[in-house]
């Protein structure tokens, strides 16, 4: 159970994948395997969050460079379009109730996205996922999106939390951060954020009541 006072909270920072957007890792891996990548799960896991994908999500390499390097890892030719299409299969849906919650919060709090993500994923979400849910665009749900590939900063580096505090002219004690990664949560908590380690929709209901 989550027991937390939201008194004094003015800003809510939501993680994206695993909190707002369901993740479909198995579907993505299967499709890459079907395209001819042997040991797709091992190859992708080896680079995810540590190598090539980390470089993409920190903006250290361009999307074009990512495509070229991915083909080397894959050991076979996959077009740019198929790389993007398959990588975007990692992203599932946004529950309609979460969209309702975000829009409701806009009248009560400043609502932000704070995400480790790539241009490939974020462009897809802007153009497909969020628009699909009740015709609600990202700009209708968030005051601003803080994205790792644009900031060249990556959770749980304390610098990314310090950046958003400075950019929003906020005190950490006025901020609630919701994420599904314990390391990210601990880093924010160490700076004074109120935090919620997200595991399911029930966590949001316990925090904010039924919605």
Respond yes or no: is residue 123 known to be catalytic.
no
Give the separation between CA 204 and CA 60, rounded to whole angstroms: 34
pLDDT at 5 over 80: no
Contact 112, 50 (CB under 8 A): no
Percent of the chain that is helix, strand, coil (3-state, to 5) = 50, 15, 35
Backbone angles phi, psi at 147, to 5 degrees: -120, 135
Q: What are the tens digits of pLDDT across the range 128-174?
A: 888 755 668 888 899 999 999 999 999 999 999 999 999 999 999 99
pLDDT at 38 over 70: yes
Q: What are the tens digits of pLDDT across the range 112-129?
A: 999 999 999 999 999 888
pLDDT at 197 over 80: yes
Three-class DSSP labels, 124-164: HHHHHHHHHCCCCCHHHHCCEEEEHHHHCCCCCCHHHHHHH
66-100: b (≥16 Cβ within 10 Å) or e = bbebbeeebeeebeeeebbebbbbbbeebeeebbe
> Could you tell me which residues come within 8 angstroms of residue 16 by beta carbon, excluding any fewer than 6 positions away?
113, 115, 117, 125
pLDDT of amino acid 211: 55
Identified catalytic residue from 15, 84, 179, 180: 15
- Nearest Cα neighbor of 12 from 141, 152, 181 is 141
Residue 9 burial (CB count, 10 A): 17
Segment (H or E) for 179: strand 175-179
């Amino acid at each position: 159970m989550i027991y937390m006072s939201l008194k004094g909270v003015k800003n809510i920072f939501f993680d994206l994948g695993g909190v707002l957007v369901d993740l479909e890792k198995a579907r993505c891996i299967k499709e890459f395997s079907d395209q001819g990548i042997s040991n797709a799960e091992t190859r992708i896991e080896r680079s995810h969050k540590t190598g090539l994908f980390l470089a993409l999500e920190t903006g250290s390499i361009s999307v074009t460079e990512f495509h070229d390097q991915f083909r080397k890892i894959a050991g076979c030719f996959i077009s740019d379009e198929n790389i993007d299409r398959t990588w975007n299969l990692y992203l599932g849906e946004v529950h309609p109730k979460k969209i309702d919650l975000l829009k409701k919060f806009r009248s009560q709090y400043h609502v932000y996205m704070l995400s480790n993500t790539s241009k490939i994923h974020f462009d897809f979400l802007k153009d497909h996922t969020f628009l699909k849910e009740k015709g609600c665009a990202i700009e209708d749900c968030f005051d601003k999106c803080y994205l790792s590939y644009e900031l060249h900063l990556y959770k749980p580096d304390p610098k990314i939390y310090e950046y958003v505090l400075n950019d929003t002219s906020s005190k950490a004690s006025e901020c609630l951060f919701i994420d599904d990664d314990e390391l990210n949560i601990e880093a924010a908590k160490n700076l004074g954020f109120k935090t919620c380690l997200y595991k399911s929709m029930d966590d949001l209901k316990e925090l904010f009541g039924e919605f």
